[in-house]
Amino acid sequence: MFDSRISLRTVLIASSLVLGLILVAAYSLVSKEHFIRGLDAAMASNMEKTARTFSEVIGATDSKQVRKFSGFDIRTQWSDLPAYTHSAFPNGPGESGQLLKKEDSTWFQRPSFIIFAMRYDSANGPLYLSQELTPPATSRLIPQAARQNRMFTLAVSILVIAFISTVTWLLLRHVSRPIAALRAWTHSLDNEKLSHPAPDFSYPELNEMAELIRNSLSSVQQAVERERRFLRHASHELRTPISTIRSNIELQRKLAQTREKLQDEQNIVDRIDRASLTMKHLTETLLWLNHEPDTPLESEVVDLPELIRELAAEMTYLLAGKPVTTEISTKPFSCAVPRVPARIVLGNLIRNAYQHCWEGTVVIEQQGNRVMISNPAEPEEQNTPAHPSEITGYGLGLELTTTLSQRIGWHYTSDRHQNIHRVIVDIGATRRP
């Protein structure tokens, strides 16, 4: 199944790249601002120097006749400056040495004009300077300086991104190795490795996580082992009293043949017989579930129709007192399979069908190695705790059969349609993916 969640590696790489882009953008803005402020400072210094030279060279007598000096419009009165100055700065400069500037540039468009104005207080009185720059009239030095500044900013940006990418790659490589080792170690954990100390993963946090994983799995493993020992011991211990009960029942029946037997006594013996059979099947199931998975199972030739009819006969007591009939349809077929698992799987399915069918017909069909069992089932809304099926644990046989089929690798399906429950199992067939 596709996992839509973003991996930690992707988050780290994306975060580093975003951080690098933010740094580059911030540096570019700062560089642009410093470049423009540097040009403004150079212009203010040039205008101040021009005004000082004009005051020294021209003097107060001829200053009113001179209109242009060193490329600047110079007047002794603010009102005498050209119209472009007044349209740009209606109020004029407030103090000496203050540079006024106006342009129409945007983020992605160069300015079509730049207007500068300044007031300079000389020894002969105030002087007002202004200048209008347009692209054809601007000096070649400014575009060249701007181009050099852009190239420098681009080069530094590339170096910053390359540096951040390299550092991120080295960091991920240095960190991902211990994380990959932790992941591989976690997947390879078994009973033997759980008994050994966790390896060193270079970082205290990873070592602590590995120790937590090992301790947690050790606790789970110990609980599973305790449960297995209990089931194994309980199953083995139950075999002796079950054998005793079964043998005494057979002895009781033989003794009853020599004398008249009361109906109540017969009912008691039948109930004991049914309980002992249930205990026997449960013990076989528990022993099989606790069977070591690596232990090979011995196969033998099994007559499948005979086995089905034998198990169905053993489970007949579950239909006592119920308006239930059975239909068993089999065809001759023999196969080499482990007998005990086959008995447990088929016995659980037949027992479940008999036990939870209250009226109608239980159908058992066998064709080749495929066995299908269907029985009427109560509607789901009627399956309340007060119903007998809930009290006896409806579906426990199916759950055990599912576990056993998955354990041995047989194909098994279960479905319910229109209050008919049907199960299909292929004895000896490998479970499909």
First to last CA, the chain: 15
Q: pLDDT-based confidence at 268, cuts 50/70/90?
A: low
pLDDT digits (tens, 9 = 90+) for 93-114: 878 888 888 888 776 677 778 8
Note the pLDDT of residue 397.
60
Please give the average per-residue pLDDT across 55-71, as a whole number: 70
Crossing angle (nearest 10°) for helices 263-289 and 339-355: 130
* DSSP helix, strand, coil percent of the chain (3-state; round to 5): 55, 20, 25
Structural element, H or E, at residue 31: helix 8-57
Crossing angle (nearest 10°) for helices 304-314 and 339-355: 40
Q: pLDDT-based confidence at 328, cuts 50/70/90?
A: very high
Can you name the CATH fold of 296-430?
Answer: Heat Shock Protein 90 (3.30.565)
Q: Are 259 and 218 in contact (CB under 8 A)?
A: no
Residue 180 CB partners (closer than 8 Å, separation 6+): none
pLDDT digits (tens, 9 = 90+) for 133-177: 876 544 555 566 667 767 877 787 788 778 877 877 777 777 777
Q: pLDDT-based confidence at 179, cuts 50/70/90?
A: confident
Can you name the CATH fold of 190-290?
Answer: Helix Hairpins (1.10.287)
